[in-house]
Amino acid sequence: MIRIPAKVLIVDDEKDFVEMFSLRLSEGGEKVFTAHSGQECLEKLKQENIDVVVLDIKMPGMDGVETLKEIKKKYPIVEVILLTGHGAIETAVEGMKLGAYDYLLKPADAGEMTKKLEGARKRKDAQEERIRKAEQKSLLRRGGNI
């Protein structure tokens, strides 16, 4: 089966981190977009049909949790993986209660990130499939076929 690359958006105020991971994930076959702030993240989501956002929690201005809330409000199906430091796991937990798929501890490992991206992607695909089926059913009902 041909694997369609996931569209991943990496958001972090640390430019080196964004560069390194965007390179790694591109090499792994994903289609990678980048942003360096919450605002920029929301702009990119408007322009591109993103599957998964890898989102840093600690950013100046609009932080990761605020950005997550906006993402889930506007694009509930987009999956979010949070990036956090060892001292702030409780913030990641809060984020997961707000709808984030999972979190990664910094300094994140590319292998671990790939694994979590895969899981997030699968969850999004499965949800989209359920929505498609429900839509088909509702169309059939409307057509009076059932």
Site of interaction with Mg ion (CB under 5 A): 13, 56, 58
CB of 14 to Mg ion, least distance (A): 5
Nearer to Mg ion, 91 or 121 (CB): 91
CB of 58 to Mg ion, least distance (A): 4
Nearer to Mg ion, 35 or 124 (CB): 35
Nearer to Mg ion, 31 or 58 (CB): 58
Q: Is 14 exposed, middle or buried (0-12, 13-18, 19+ CB in 10 A)?
A: middle
Residue closest to Mg ion when measured from CB atoms: 58
CB of 26 to Mg ion, least distance (A): 21
